[in-house]
Structure 1
Amino acid sequence: MEEFEDQFSESQTDMILICMEYVEDRADRVYVYASCEQGIISSRFFYLINDTHVKCHKVNDALRVGDEQYDVSGNRQSMVLRILCEDIEKIKALCTEYRKEMPTEMKLIYDVKSGRFTAEYKYDLLYTNDDVKTATHMYNEWFEEVKKKKL
């Protein structure tokens, strides 16, 4: 069982690390949204930088005067999203191998200063059974909730 936990944690750590690399380790907090529902794998990420919550393509908006700009090119965003989805695939394969239920949703938060990592998992269908909602809707709802609560 310990091996399952270690591998599960390793994939989550990799998700945080690739998101930190995207902002050159210059973020106060990293948020990763990961979804795996009925064959649909999706992931998104956002940050807290200088007391401002920003989506990955808007990280430069949170910089202070004189701060070095981030590279927010489409290629870099795609690279991060590809790695995040690969990590979700690894977790899915791991859950299958160990006969564990795969979360349909994972919300990962890493606080850089304290080193504190938190994760929230859901196992119910959240959008594939809805005529309107998509994984992007779920991500956007979480982003707005975090912004409002200043989490």
Structure 2
Amino acid sequence: MISICMEYVEDRADKVYVYASREEGVTASDFFYMINDKYVEPHKLNDALENEEESYDVSAERNFMVLDILNEDIGKIKALCKEYKRDMPTEMKLIYDVKSGNFKAEYKYDLVYTHDEIKTATHIFNEWFDEIKNNNL
């Protein structure tokens, strides 16, 4: 998951954040970055560039290709969990610090949004993005 997100950003990011969710038959994923001390979603990568840096290809087609791969990976994780008789996480938040090589993963196994009448996976992702951005994590 981290690899495809690094490929999308041409290995030019300080940190990579991946949200992955699978609950009640719903699979969802999204991702964002920290580049030059700015937190940006994939379609806004060029907002984080400094003057001389080459711009990113932020086309919707490329973005959807990454999301498709992330969702396929979630399916593979589900299959592995089933094969090894383990519970499938309902939520995974992955953080990769490119410079240090540190990787952090947070997992939840309880329902996060499908039991809520209003919230969707997108709401949860947006809340996480805002939390990271506002707290500079």
TM-score by length of 1: 0.90
Q: Structure 2 matches for 1:1-151, cutoff 5 A? A: 15-151=1-137
Structure 1 or 2: more helix by fraction: 1
The aligned counterpart of 1:6 is none
TM-score by length of 2: 0.99
What secondary structure does 1:121 align onto?
strand
Moved beyond 6 Å, runs of 4+: none
Give ranges in structure 1 of 5+ residues lacking alignment. Answer: 1-14
* Alpha-carbon distance between aligned partners in 2 of 1:17 and 1:99, rounded to the nearest angstrom: 27
Aligned length: 137
- SS of the equivalent of 1:48 reads strand
Distance 2:32 2:63 in 1: 11
* Alignment deviations for residues 53-86 of structure 1 (CA, whole Å, 9 cap, x no partner): 0011111100001210000001100110000000
Supply the distance in 2 between the matched residues of 1:23 and 1:126 (Cα, whole angstroms).
Answer: 29
